[in-house]
Structure 1
Amino acid sequence: MRTWWIALTVALTGLNAPLSIVVFPGPAAAQGFAGVDPYTNQLVERVSIRILNPSPDSALNSRVQEQVRTLLGLFPGDRFSEEQFAFQLSQVRRIKDVASTDYEVQFGTRNGLEIVVDVTLGEVPAEGRGLAFGGDFPTIYDKNGTYVRFKLDLLSLYYANNNAWYGRPDAMLAGNPLVQGTPSGAGWDQWVEAYAHYGVYGITPINSQTYLYGGLSAITAGSFGQELFTDKTRTFTGIEDAYVGIVGGSTDARGNRLTYNLSVGRQRFTLADGFLIANTAANGEERAALQANARWASDFLALGQVAYNDTKFELFYLDPDELPAIDSETTYFGANFETKPIEGLTLGASYVTSPKSNFSYFSPVGGIAGTREGLQVYDARLSYSPNPPGQQGPFFGAEYAVQRNKNFDMDARAGWVEAGYSWPQAKWSPTLSYRLSRFSGDEPTTSTYERWDPMLSGGNGQQWVQGANHFKLVQDSNVVAHRIQASFRPSPKVEIVPQLWAFYADQENNIGGNPALSFLNGTEYGFEANVTAKWFVNRNTYVHGHLAYTVPGGATKAALGGDAKNWLSAMVFIRYAF
């Protein structure tokens, strides 16, 4: 879950007596691991079409492969959606001579995915496919372009900490409204989480080029044991997806593709790679499944997308699903543009504003500097890989964003640069990269508010969850983070990702962050080493685990009175989905 709290005590000078202010204005606490869904929004590096029983007629094989590729509409540089891909495969099965389809997911050479589509040639069943025709689960109905399927996603997770919160939950969680009972702290604590995500999704043609689609699902989740914020056992069931949409498009004689997608309802949304918006629902507290991050669907999303070949434009209105106890009633409206002017180069720009919010920003001299309502965010980004996936070579990325507010003087900045190199043909296909990111803090000597608002940033541990443990203490605000990351692929379905982190405060004034770290003497937050292992056992089964060791820096130790222990965490989960 993506939240933080503010519990702030400010002693105001120049008054007859100090003023104590304790406030809990909005989303707050620790990020769930957010890596339990290994597919959604991951960058697609390569799409391969494989005919399992090729015809002696090579022209037929080539025709079928081209038709499959066109109907899938999934290309390198796209973001993967499991539900959308299932719909696209249902259209592929309408191709003459295609009897059945399947696919598998592999790890790419640059932290993305490779999708391999298997096609079996044969006669198309005239009566249709699915349970309605005596076929196999989970397809319910598949005929004449109408496709309805049942979804089931099961996950079981084990998590353990030694000296969570540096062994100082008394300071690090002081005033946190999510604490119920006894939180994790000094010594060894462990718990288990589980959830089941189940529902029905379908698509049907309106005409030859336009389709109506939708989904309805629920999640039942539970947490048992000594969790980060509580030792209370909890179970919870709630609606997850509930949306409808229209999608369509066409391809002209020259191969130019025009597509559009309009949808409304409860659904998940990620803007680009999650630097600004990824975690559109909160987990934990009464909803359980804090680290499993079971829920992603916003309370409401209206989304319009239009794409012409490699250029995409989208508009969105988003109301995230925040925890009731700390609901800031924030909404967002935004626009996003992405294009690929040359092979290997992707450019993007976004604008996001918050038309409504009760979330407050706090001044270092006391009082409220302003609220999130009126926030205006301008973002530009690029990624560049001069060599195509599968070939040895460098890759680069960068992003820069500015936050203003139409209701008060705000000027916050954030950005990152990354450079890396991959050796896909070498043993274990190693990749090595370095990333520097900065999220501004508030300079107390100026009247301008400069602390970066992380909004709904997140994703997974290779995106904007910066440090498996450290992110729970210092989220993406008032922080400068150095990351060295490697990845190794012992096989196409196994990936090992070690990371080294160094975290520093941008400003010693940290009001608005963890209350124990509101005033720093120095900028050294801490250091972390972690390693993540991922295994696609098959398309339905995924295993994931991590170890993380975090050491408090000098500024953190001083803020905690010198009593701060090193933090070790371990996690493993198994996910089964169809």
Structure 2
Amino acid sequence: MAWRQVETGLHLLQNIRRFGGTVLLLAILATGQLDACLVRPALAQSYGAELGFLSLPVETVTVAIANPRSDQTFNNRVTDGFRRFLAIYPGDRFNENAAAFAIARVRRNPDIADVTYSYALGRAGGLDVTFTITLAADGSTFSGRGYLITSNMADLPVLYDRDGTYVRAKLEALSLYYGNNNAWYGQPDAMLAGNPLVQGKPAGSGYSNWAEGYLHYGLYGITPLSDKFYIYGGLSSISSGSTGQELFTDQTRGYTHVEDAYAGFVTGTTDEKGNRLAFNFSAGRQKFTLANAFLIANTAANGWERAALQANARWAADLLVLGQVSYNGNKLEAFYLKPDELPVIDTHTELAGLNLETRPVNGMLAAASYVTALKSDFTYFNPDGTILGTRDGLNVFDARLTYRPLPANQAGPFFGAEAGLQTHREFEMFATAAYGEAGYSFVDKPWSPSISYRLSYFSGDDPDTGAYERWDPLLSGGNGEQWVQGASHFKVVQDSNVIAQRVQANFRPLPTVEVVPQLWAFQADSLNNIGGNPALSFLSDHQYGYEANVTVKWFPSRNWYVHGLLAYTIPGEAARNALDGDPEDWFAAMLFVRYSL
């Protein structure tokens, strides 16, 4: 990697000379640390696996009895008990495995013969889930289902479902096309100088395109050890490939590796009033998202030798140890996380944290989190380019509040706010981040429109203060409606030293189609941008740029999902001046089709 170190150093030298930092930069080059420390690879937006029909937030949860008894008190007790046992609340992300596991446990109740569920796209763009309970009659019980029991192909992907033991197969396939005109503003040599993800020729001036895809296949299951104690686990693998002119390379690649490989247990009790206390513990390779992805979402990296850069096929961390305690709608969780980073840019980061969530009133979620870095080589820099320290020792304190009217298909205002503070155990650090969002949902109108405005702030480092203030984005991301801020602009400026304004609308022209247009404006908090894209290390203007994009989502069935995107990104004065040329506007187009069994 020595040649990449020199290439990056020469590029940065042109900027740092303006500030008299030549000697300091050469000292860093001599230590051989520049390649690993100064290069910040652009990340992809998290499409593929995270945007399927079943990963939408839940709008409504309906529990019905197919054959109710004349005793309405008994019926109510069954449905209320199932709701508490299921523990799915509006705003939660639907998890098909978790729902199936909960149903498998509930079926052991002698009063219940069967439970099925169906779902549909809700009026506010989320998921309406309906659970139907069939009560046992004349001592009959659920006889079981699944291909291994019935030899019926119609039962797939369920392989075995009897007496609380549930095993299912997973098969997910995705094919994606992505095109760019003037990627990296038509100046990849400057924007990608020294970036270790570059292999061969990167995309740049003019039109370029590529195709990629993946197969995700595996087994997941749960079985009881007693009436209240269940063990579960999952094992899967992903095969991915890319061909064509990608953002960083023109090399065709293929890669297969284990994805999920975890085990855990769940137990709990329900008191006479129906309040449910549950414990859940798991460990192994698995995905983890902290709250709304403000701090942690991208627990695995894609691209480079793994291919599938934009499909973001991989999510499972190298190791996640997760313990959760929930009481009705309240949850406390503790975690240890070692993300699955690309070997070429592995920062050896290890995180641990706590997260508390509570629902004080219907529609409102109040929460707080603490995250600390137990180990990491990810580097922070002084304004003169010298190394200040590493992420090892970072402390993150976070508080958030969101509100949406309930039921979710009801018109009305919604809002959210969050604030974070970062300090460090080894040196003075005071980095801050926050956002505020407000909007209104008109779900009772044609096309069920909603409109919202979000202002977000991630601090930069002010050279005139003694503290280090540049916000560390950790593993923030998710999708374009979470913390991937701009489909293309996020690749240039991630969630650090940036003030972003977003106007977003949502429309439902058809029951199975959602359209999401966005308008963005990006500004730098500080003109000192060391630690970001090397081409933008020192800024002469605060205006990064602008973007307009539109996403179209089509859910033809529970198995199929089609997703399209158009994005137009305009460089601002900060980018134009830093690139010392005439950067071009960047146009991007993407389309993928996903099938999930």
Shorter-chain TM-score bucket reads over 0.9
State the aligned residue count.
572
The answer as to whether partners of 1:54 and 1:61 remain within 8 angstroms in 2 is no
- Counterpart amino acid of 1:11? R
Does the aligned pair in 2 maintain the 1:387–1:394 contact within 8 Å?
A: no
Residue 351 (structure 1) aligns with: 370
User: For residue 175 of structure 2, what is the aligned residue in structure 1?
Assistant: 156
**What secondary structure is seen at the aligned counterpart in 2 of 1:25?**
helix
The structure-2 alpha-carbon separation of the partners of 1:16 and 1:307, relative to structure 1 and needing over 3 Å to count, comes to closer
Q: Does 1:538 align with 2:550?
A: no
Q: Is the 8 A contact 1:351 1:379 kept in 2?
A: yes
Of stretches 371-380 and 76-85 in structure 1, the one that deviates more from structure 2 is: 76-85
Residue from 73, 77, 84 that aligns with 2:98? 84
Whole-Å separation in 2 of the counterparts to 1:528 and 1:549: 6
Of 267, 281, 285, the residue aligned with 2:286 is: 267
Find the partner of 1:130 among 137, 146, 151.
146
Q: Distance in 2 between matches of 1:420 and 1:577?
A: 33
Check the 8 A contact 2:24/2:384 in 1, yes or no: no
* Equivalent in the alignment of 2:247: 228
State the match for 1:450 in structure 2: 469
Structure 2 residue identity aligned to 1:72: L
Matches within 5 A, 1:50-129: 59=72, 65-66=79-80, 68-94=82-108, 96=111, 98-99=113-114, 101-107=116-122, 109=124, 112-118=126-132, 127-129=143-145
Partner residue in 2 for 1:186: 205
CA contact under 8 A between 2:460 and 2:471: conserved in structure 1? yes
Identify the residue that residue 33 of structure 1 maps to in structure 2: 45
Equivalent residue, structure 1, for 2:57? 43
Question: Which one has the bigger helix percentage?
Answer: 2
| SS of residue in 1 equivalent to 2:225 | strand
Equivalent residue, structure 1, for 2:224? 205
User: Equivalences for 1:333-372 in 2 at 5 Å?
Assistant: 333-372=352-391
TM (norm. structure 2) is 0.91
Work out the CA distance in 1 between the residues paired with 2:68 and 2:388: 70
Aligned residue for 2:574, secondary structure, equals helix
Mark the runs of 5 or more structure 1 residues left unpaired by the alignment: none
Does the CA-based 8 Å contact 1:107-1:494 persist in structure 2?
no
The Cα of 1:210 is off from its aligned counterpart by 1.5
Match of 2:275 in 1: 256
**Secondary structure of 1:342 counterpart:** coil
Q: What is residue 17 of structure 2 aligned with on the other side?
A: 11
1:333–1:352 Cα contact (<8 Å) kept = yes
Alignment partner, residue 413 of structure 1: 432
Q: Which stretch shifts more, 96-105 or 136-145?
A: 96-105
Superposed CA RMSD? 2.3
TM-superposed CA distance for 1:108, in Å, is 5.3
Asked if 1:294 is matched to 2:313, the reply is: yes
Q: Which residue of 2 aligns with 1:395?
A: 414
- Cα gap change, 1:157 to 1:433, in 2 (>3 Å): same
Q: Deviations over 1:123-165 (max 9, x none)?
A: 8776521122124221111110001111111111111111111
2: CA distance, partners of 1:533 / 1:449: 41
In structure 2, distance between residues paired with 1:386 and 1:189: 44
Structure 1 residue 15, shift from structure 2 partner: 7.7
Letter in 1 for 2:62: S
Structure 2 gap ranges (5+) = none
Q: SS of 2:249's equivalent?
A: coil
Q: Which moved more, 1:252-261 or 1:93-102?
A: 93-102
Contact 1:257 1:309 in 2 (8 A): yes
Shift of the 519–15 alpha-carbon distance from structure 1 to 2, 3 Å rule, reads: closer
Deviations 1:23-70 (A, max 9, x none): 13368423222132225765322112356x656968487666445434
Which digits, 9 at most, give the CA deviation of each residue in 1:390-440, with x for residues without a partner?
221111110000101101111111010000000111101111000000000
Decide which of 543, 560, 572 is 1:524's aligned counterpart.
543
* Structure 1 Cα separation of the partners of residues 500 and 77 of structure 2: 50
State the identity %. 56
What's the secondary structure of 2:360's corresponding residue? Answer: strand
The one-letter code matched in structure 2 to 1:561 is D
The structure-2 alpha-carbon separation of the partners of 1:93 and 1:547, relative to structure 1 and needing over 3 Å to count, comes to farther
Displacement of 1:448: 1.3
Structure 1, 562-571 or 225-234: larger mean CA deviation: 562-571
For 1:67 and 1:18, how far apart are their aligned partners in 2? 66
Distance 1:464 1:175 in 2: 26
CA drift at 1:80: 2.5
